[in-house]
Structure 1
Amino acid sequence: MTLDAPVAEFLAFKPDAGASGTPVADRRRAILDASDEIFRRFGEPAPDVASVTDHVVDQPGGAIRVRVYRPHAAAPLPVHVFIHGGGFWLGSVDELVVDATCRERSTGADCVVVAVDYRLAPEHPFPTPVEDCYRALLWAHEHAASLGGDPSVLTIGGVSAGANLAAAVTLAVRDRGGPPLALQLLEVPALDLTLSSMVASGVGDDHGISVADMAVTVDLYLPAPADPTSPYASPLLATDLRGLPPAHILTAEFDPLRHEGERYAERLRDAGVPVVCRRQPGAVHGSLALTGRWEPARQWRAHLLDALRQAHHRAPGA
């Protein structure tokens, strides 16, 4: 198997998560610096938007921050809640790639984007990040009109661990009677934290994410006695997937998480949920960051923007 040159270069540059004995704060700082350098090397410059504003969402146990992007388009607009990746213990809305992703979605799909800066493990382990993202979704719905958004046209999406959280939030919305969602947009999702799906994927550990990486993530996110089979931790393992919003799932050919994303699509279909699942040939975990150097990453972006636009048009309030 030969990877395209930009993908191989990306994998050669991509840093690991650091030694387990290194303080988490130091590891976060190093990975953030590396993430921003990856974007500068491989990413396409972010488009202009009409405004970017930060807001505080109060909730039990501590406030969280959300960052709101508004495009140059007339209100009211659809509202998309975006959840960044990072293995539940890394990442923030301040990353260059997250900022670019939100700007691209805001301008490309003519929507208000609400990016969630949820609290991170291990300081805030499961289920805190799920509850933070759920509360941010409620906040986006409650404040949509003041943000130039339409509360009746609401979608959610995330990348990697962020896709796990997005899927968990859709379950919570169904279980708790939350606001209707027009779409769950899941990119390279991690949906089985028992790691059995990842081990069974048949994809090797040399493609940007390994079973050992995910074991570190699970240890930080799900300290005992948390149960990795809980549906809000591992949405793939939820007993009942009926009544969930339509899903659009994007997986990468050479990503060991591919198997669980595609299995989730099958289970959603079996539960009567409309699903589109698309596997990107030649891609690895993180390939969506390569929009400045790799045409398939731009195709990936165009595909998901089209999925958002279609969901917005199909929504009952559209």
Structure 2
Amino acid sequence: MVLDATFRGVVSMGDVAHSLGLSHSVHVINSFIVNFESLVPITNQEIQAEDILFDGVHVRVYHPPGREEKLRRAVMFIHGGGWALGAPKLGSYDSLCRKMAADLDAVVVTVDYRMAPDVHFPVQYEECVQAAKHFLKPEVLVKYSVDPERVAVCGDSAGGNLAAAAAQRIGIDNSTSVKFKLQVLIYPVLQALDFNTASYQQNHNVPILYRRLMARFWLEYLDADPDIMHSIMMNKHTAQDQSLVSLNRSKLNWTNLLPKRVIKHYKPVFPLTGSPSILKDVPALLDSRAAPLLASDEVLRMAPRAYILTGEHDVLRDDGMMYARRLELAGVSVTNDHYEDGFHGCVSFAFWPLQFSVGIRAVHNYIAWLDEQL
């Protein structure tokens, strides 16, 4: 409750600053996040960190100590924050990457992609793909003593979106000889056509990611008019009279893709008539590079084995579960690790000074899965 109240206050401060013309609201919120994350002590200090460029994209490479002549595993990590927030080289994300490097004895690369509002889709996606393609080059893997058969991609929230999209791209890219062996998607955001899935209805006002805030992140990422927020939250952009959506309906039909235990009493919300201008003005809503859940079965078949972490108290629960089911139907092996006490962002709260037991368990379990499978 204290965390939620603090975050709501920071968002309100950002909105006030924005309305007064002092600063963009996202910059205000991110400034608070950076200042807070700077208080988190550096852990696993034996892990060396190197800030460099991968094909022009800023990354940090974490090196475990020890002999370089042996081939190691590797994880490319992509941070979350609604494509707009986050400090990947500070605090909880730095601690998480250091822990992965230490626990897995692996090389870990975190992508410091540029964020909204300074850039918009597809820049974030393209930078993550650029960094991934560079890292997967045989000569680069040799440089870092990485086994080309044991490389995973991982991301949380919007980073899970980018990780899934990058894994899809690498999977079908004939110019990339080395592929990701695994993908780890931590409460990923995967679609923006239905803001009334069962989990959106159940958790629309549950901390720390509210339906309105998620819609706001999407509109910022896609550089869309913020005035359409109410319409998309009401699914006016995917109303029954919207012909542009028809080919994608089955890909996010949660009444078929989700187990009954999570659907509960919730019903789909698709108005009879909608706002046809939204999809015409924001075509990226239908772009699988922005919304990986909309990828074709042919693309999904080429995706790597997946671990998808979902939380019961999260508007994005159903995004992850639907993607897990679609991957399974495409023949991809999937582990869906669901936490009944999980909430959005819990993995970031596995480190001092804000530690939640579910965050500690979630970090331990997904790293253990990587240790076993990678």
* TM bracket (short chain): 0.7 to 0.9
Partner Cα distance (1:24, 1:134) in 2 = 30
From 82, 89, 92, the counterpart of 2:87: 92
Could you tell me which amino acid in structure 1 is paired with residue 180 of structure 2? L
1:108 is the counterpart of 2:108: no
- 1:245 equivalent to 2:304? Answer yes
Partner in structure 2 of residue 83 of structure 1: 78
How far residue 183 of structure 1 moved from its aligned partner, in angstroms, is 0.7
Check 1:228–1:24 CA distance in 2 against 1; reply closer, same or farther (3 A cut).
Answer: farther
Matching residue of 2:185 = 186
What letter matches 1:167 in structure 2? Answer: A
Is 1:288 equivalent to 2:355 in the alignment? no
Aligned residues of 2:26 and 2:117 also touching (Cα < 8 A): no
Could you say if the C-alpha distance between residues 24 and 251 of structure 1 is closer, same or farther in structure 2, counting changes exceeding 3 Å?
A: farther
Matched residue, 2:125: 130
1:163 equivalent in alignment to 2:160 = yes
Structure 1 residues 24 and 96: CA distance shift in structure 2, 3 A: farther
Residues 1:303 and 2:300 are matched in the alignment? no
**Structure number with bigger Rg:** 2
Contact persistence 1:199–1:211 (CA under 8 A): no
CA separation in 2, counterparts of 1:24 and 1:165? 27
| Distance in structure 2 (CA, Å) of the matches to 1:284 and 1:261 | 13
Inter-partner Cα distance in structure 2 for 1:307 and 1:23:
46
- What's the C-alpha RMSD, in Å, of the aligned pairs? 2.3
Task: Describe the shift of the 1:69–1:145 C-alpha distance in structure 2 as closer, same or farther (beyond 3 A).
Answer: same
User: Percent identity among equivalent residues?
Assistant: 28
Distance in 2, matches of 1:98 and 1:220, equals: 23
How far off its partner does 1:195 sit?
4.1
Q: Flag structure 1 segments of 5+ consecutive residues without an equivalent.
A: 1-7, 313-318
Q: 1:113 to 1:36 in 2, by over 3 A?
A: farther
**Aligned-partner SS, 1:273:** coil
The answer as to whether partners of 1:195 and 1:214 remain within 8 angstroms in 2 is no
Q: 1:302 to 1:36 in 2, by over 3 A?
A: farther
Counterpart in 1 of 2:116?
121
Gaps of 5+ in 2: 224-280
- Asked whether the equivalents of residues 79 and 140 of structure 1 are also in contact (C-alpha less than 8 Å), the reply is no
By how many angstroms is 1:24 displaced?
6.1
Task: Give CA deviations for 1:223-260 in whole Å, capped at 9, x if unaligned.
Answer: 34442121111111212221210000001110111111
**Is the Cα contact below 8 Å between 2:191 and 2:293 reproduced in 1?**
yes
1:64 alignment partner, one of 41, 57, 65: 57
In the other structure, the counterpart of 1:228 is 285
SS in 2 for 1:227: helix
Aligned equivalents of 2:168, 2:76: Cα separation in 1: 15
Q: Higher helix fraction: Structure 1 or Structure 2?
A: 2
Q: How many angstroms apart in 1 are the aligned matches of 2:346 and 2:214?
A: 18
Aligned amino acid, residue 108 of structure 2:
V
> Match of 1:72, as an amino acid?
P
Contact kept, 8 Å, 1:79 with 1:144, in 2: the verdict is: no
Give the direction of change, closer, same or farther, for the CA distance of 1:280–1:211 in structure 2 (3 Å limit).
Answer: same
The structural deviation recorded for 1:45 is 5.7
- 2:184 counterpart SS class: strand
Contact 2:136–2:179 (8 Å) recurs in 1: no
Over 3 Å counting, the alpha-carbon distance change for 1:207 and 1:173 in structure 2 is same
Supply the AA of the counterpart residue of 1:182: K
Structure of higher RCO (CA pairs closer than 8 Å, 6+ residues apart): 1
